[in-house]
Amino acid sequence: MQIVFALYEEFTALDAVGPYEVLSRLPGATAVFAAMERGPVRTDGALTVMAEAALEEIDRCDVLVVPGGPGTRDVVLGDQRYVDWVRRVHPTTRWTTSVCSGSLILGAAGLLRGLDATTHWGLRKELEATGARYVPERTVEQGRILTAAGVSAGIDMALTLAARIGGDVAAQAIQLWIEYDPQPPFDSGSPAKASPETLDFVATHLAPG
Amino acid sequence: MQIVFALYEEFTALDAVGPYEVLSRLPGATAVFAAMERGPVRTDGALTVMAEAALEEIDRCDVLVVPGGPGTRDVVLGDQRYVDWVRRVHPTTRWTTSVCSGSLILGAAGLLRGLDATTHWGLRKELEATGARYVPERTVEQGRILTAAGVSAGIDMALTLAARIGGDVAAQAIQLWIEYDPQPPFDSGSPAKASPETLDFVATHLAPG
């Protein structure tokens, strides 16, 4: 089972690494980090990772993971090679997935028209512009397309998918191995739970221009 | 504020990337991925990341993050350069932290003697052999040393630390931005919660030799 993490400049590292730590531990899984060109790929911060394959060398895969990040904008508005590749490989996959703004790329490829889907809480309108119905859930499953909410939601999405692929026990074992027993010190992970001060801080310091 | 992620061959990617996605978003923070040598560093799987600095070029930092992973064994039993560097830089930090088996490295550097600390649930004895008292908590704070439990616990530890550094609102805003509102589809993230079948699956398929 080949799992392709399709990277691009300025993706958000955790969007890819969260699902990777879950899905790559399924027995028989092979993870491939790929991008338009082989070689270093900058994330949206200080981290650079290596793409070991070029997307255009890959003509099929079992699982496709499209991460989000500020670079989504260039992927969607840029030269279309990445979006064209997603459109081409999707019919070959068992599962096509996205995390955070990665769903805007699936949408740009025309895969979400008329479907429920999710994305980062700040991008509802952008998702709906692709013809999807935004659902504020952690993971939205529509046939063989799974979309996850923002950044860290990819871990939850991947556990759901791991259970579909390998069964509940395999998914539970991976959860145990990565000790995913979350106990955040605050309960501020969604806009409905966040204080006005927190929302102000996000707008001032964290939201991209 | 300089945050150094001190990598080594066969570290576990999420151990570093989880805290990175939290801490690097603090206003004024600069993240640096470093290793004994600059250049590509293999994780314990298909992912390779770039070290942009050599550890021995760094003689001080504000926050040190030591990830875990199967490579911990070679770091602790190998040529001691990494452990010596940790011992040397620790007096300069405001915060010295570890995730998963990274605490075995802090222990090898002599930093945990007589202190409470934590690690991956499977490594209690190895941690105690360094003179620490194992505590089965998600994050253990002892003065300016924070240790986190296995792999994904680094996200929770980093939110705790983000609040110490930047205040509760900053930490809550980062939690909201990365949409860390965990809703795993199973409740199997600690040995006490896992079924016998799940523990068997871990022993058969996931636990390293």
pLDDT digits 0-9 by tens, A31-60: 999 999 999 999 999 999 999 999 999 999
Q: CATH number of the domain that A22 lies in? A: 3.40.50.880
Query: Is A61 assigned a catalytic role?
Result: no
pLDDT digits 0-9 by tens, B167-201: 999 999 999 999 999 999 999 999 999 999 999 99
Note whether residue A209 is domain-resident.
no
Residue A194 contacts B where some CB pair is shorter than 8 Å: yes
Name the DSSP class of B12: -
Residue B49 C-beta-side C-alpha neighbours within 13 Å:
30
Are B201 and A173 contacting, i.e. CB atoms less than 8 angstroms apart?
Answer: yes
Residue B52 contacts A where some CB pair is shorter than 8 Å: yes
pTM of the predicted model as reported, rounded to 2 decimal places: 0.97
Note whether residue A203 is domain-resident.
no
CB atoms within 10 A of CB B62: 16
Note whether residue A104 is domain-resident.
yes
Note whether residue A206 is domain-resident.
no
Q: What is the pLDDT of residue B208?
A: 58
List of chain A residues whose C-beta atoms are within 8 Å of the C-beta of residue B169: 195, 197-198, 201
Note whether residue B110 is domain-resident.
yes
Average pLDDT, chain B: 97
The SS3 assignment for A50 reads strand
Both tokens of residue A7? 């990277």
Tell me which residue of B190, B161, B125 sits closest to A178, measured CA to CA.
B190
Q: What is the pLDDT of residue A207?
A: 81
Given CA atoms B195, A2, A24, B160 in this order, what sign does their dihedral have?
negative
List of chain B residues whose C-beta atoms are within 8 Å of the C-beta of residue A68: none
Domain total of chain A: 1
> How far does A24 lie from chain B, in Å, by closest CA?
8
Place of tokens 């935004």: A134
Residues 53-92, chain B, touching A (beta carbon < 8 A):
none
Alpha carbon distance B140, A97 (integer Å): 35
Tell me which residue of B23, B13, B202, B109 sits closest to A175, measured CA to CA.
B202
Do B20 and A13 count as a contact with CB atoms less than 8 A apart? yes
pLDDT digits 0-9 by tens, B135-158: 999 999 999 999 999 999 999 999
Are A13 and A47 contacting, i.e. CB atoms less than 8 angstroms apart?
Answer: yes
Report the relative pairing of strands A145-148 and A139-142 from DSSP bridges: antiparallel
Q: What is the pLDDT of residue B207?
A: 81
Note whether residue B195 is domain-resident.
no
Q: What is the pLDDT of residue A208?
A: 58
Can you give the residue range of the structural domain that contains A145? 2-182
Are B172 and A199 contacting, i.e. CB atoms less than 8 angstroms apart?
Answer: no
Question: Per-residue pLDDT for A110 more than 90?
Answer: yes
DSSP H or E run through B75: helix B72-77
Mean pLDDT confidence for A83-93: 98
Note whether residue B196 is domain-resident.
no
Annotated catalytic residue, options A3, A76, A100, A117: A100
Annotated catalytic residue, options B6, B29, B100, B149: B100
Note whether residue B138 is domain-resident.
yes
E strand residue ranges, B26-180? 30-35, 39-42, 48-51, 53-54, 63-66, 95-99, 116-117, 133-134, 139-142, 145-148
Please provide the size of chain A in residues: 209
Both tokens of residue A137? 């859930």
Question: What ipTM was estimated for this complex?
Answer: 0.96
Name the DSSP class of A132: P
